[in-house]
């Protein structure tokens, strides 16, 4: 972390680097390819709890995220947690950082601006994992359609969030995936899919279907 970043954190009351340390011989973070924002959020929340200062969270989050998202890194795998609201695409260097993104995992209760921004700069996604909730962002359809070669998709419906809205959203996603019918090789869905989507996947290698509730059970 740069002196400016450390000083910024200290001024905000987040003096988390109290011990002196030797500067690394090279930038280890530049070799990072997998970025879990779910994990970072937990880490930042723990720091915030330790400092007992609610104003610290946003400052710490900005500085830590900027360590990983910049023009010197190339993230290939990214996951975004529930109700994440930090606009990644506005970070300087984000476009080059995500230019080789291949795997994207996301909870569908996500801010419109974040999803729109990522859609504009991430078109190389090959693997997609979506966690579907009661309220979902239909903007993901544009990201699915703009991806050039999807071959692995997982649609996971939270059992506690299952309602008519989530099921309808799932059907819309299925229709958008038909564009990738030729390239699709691996498909997982936890809700019963339509025959139309399954029959369109001519080159499918692996199919996993599963749904369990109090009233019915079906697993293939």
Supply the pLDDT for residue 52. 63
- In angstroms, the CA 84 to CA 28 distance is 26
Q: Please report whether residue 208 resides in a domain.
A: yes
Q: Is the pLDDT of residue 213 over 50?
A: no
Q: Is the pLDDT of residue 157 over 50?
A: yes
Instruction: Judge whether 86 and 99 are in contact, CB under 8 Å.
Output: no
Q: Please report whether residue 115 resides in a domain.
A: yes
SS (HEC) of 18-61 = CCCCCCCCCCHHHHCCEEEHHHHHHHHHHHHHHHCCCCHHHHHH
Q: How confident is the model at residue 59 (pLDDT cuts 50, 70, 90)?
A: confident
Q: Please report whether residue 210 resides in a domain.
A: yes
Instruction: Judge whether 180 and 150 are in contact, CB under 8 Å.
Output: yes
Q: Please report whether residue 74 resides in a domain.
A: no
Residue-wise pLDDT for 176-206, tens only, equals: 999 999 999 999 998 888 778 889 999 999 9
Q: Which residue's entry shows tokens 């729109």?
A: 116
- In angstroms, the CA 75 to CA 8 distance is 26
Instruction: Of 5-9, 93-97, 137-141, 174-178, give the lowest mean pLDDT range.
Output: 5-9
Backbone φ and ψ for 166, nearest 5 degrees, come out as -70, -35
Residue-wise pLDDT for 116-132, tens only, equals: 899 988 889 999 999 99
Strand partners, 157: 132
Supply the pLDDT for residue 91. 94
Q: Please report whether residue 65 resides in a domain.
A: no
Q: Please report whether residue 143 resides in a domain.
A: yes
Q: Please report whether residue 166 resides in a domain.
A: yes
Q: Please report whether residue 27 resides in a domain.
A: no
Q: Which of 91, 121, 127 has its CA nearest to residue 106? A: 127
Instruction: Of 32-36, 80-84, 161-165, 189-193, give the lowest mean pLDDT range.
Output: 161-165
Query: Into how many domains does the chain fold?
Result: 1
- In angstroms, the CA 35 to CA 69 distance is 9
Q: Is the pLDDT of residue 218 over 50?
A: no
Q: Is the pLDDT of residue 214 over 50?
A: no
Supply the pLDDT for residue 24. 67
**Who has greater pLDDT, 179 or 212?**
179
Domain region containing 118: 106-220
**Mean pLDDT rounded to a whole number for the chain:** 83
pTM score > 0.85 for this model?
no
């Amino acid at each position: 972390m740069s002196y400016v970043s450390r000083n910024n954190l200290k001024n905000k009351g987040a003096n988390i680097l109290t011990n002196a340390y030797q500067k690394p011989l090279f930038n280890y973070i530049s070799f990072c390819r997998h970025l879990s924002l779910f994990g970072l959020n937990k880490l930042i929340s723990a720091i915030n709890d330790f400092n007992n200062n609610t104003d610290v969270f946003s400052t710490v989050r900005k500085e830590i995220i900027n360590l990983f998202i910049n023009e010197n890194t190339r993230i290939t795998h990214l996951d975004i947690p529930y109700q994440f609201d930090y606009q990644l695409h506005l970070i300087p260097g984000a476009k080059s950082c995500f230019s080789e993104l291949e795997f994207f995992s996301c909870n569908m209760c996500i801010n419109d601006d974040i999803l729109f921004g990522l859609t504009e700069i991430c078109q190389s996604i090959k693997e997609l994992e979506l966690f579907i909730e009661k309220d979902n962002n239909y903007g993901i359809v544009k990201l699915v359609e703009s991806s050039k070669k999807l071959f692995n998709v997982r649609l996971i419906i939270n059992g506690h969030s299952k309602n008519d809205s989530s099921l309808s959203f799932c059907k819309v996603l299925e229709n958008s995936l038909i564009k990738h019918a030729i390239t699709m090789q691996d498909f997982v869905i936890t809700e019963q899919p339509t025959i139309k989507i399954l029959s369109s996947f001519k080159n499918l290698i692996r199919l996993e279907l599963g749904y369990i509730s109090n009233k019915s059970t079906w697993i293939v």
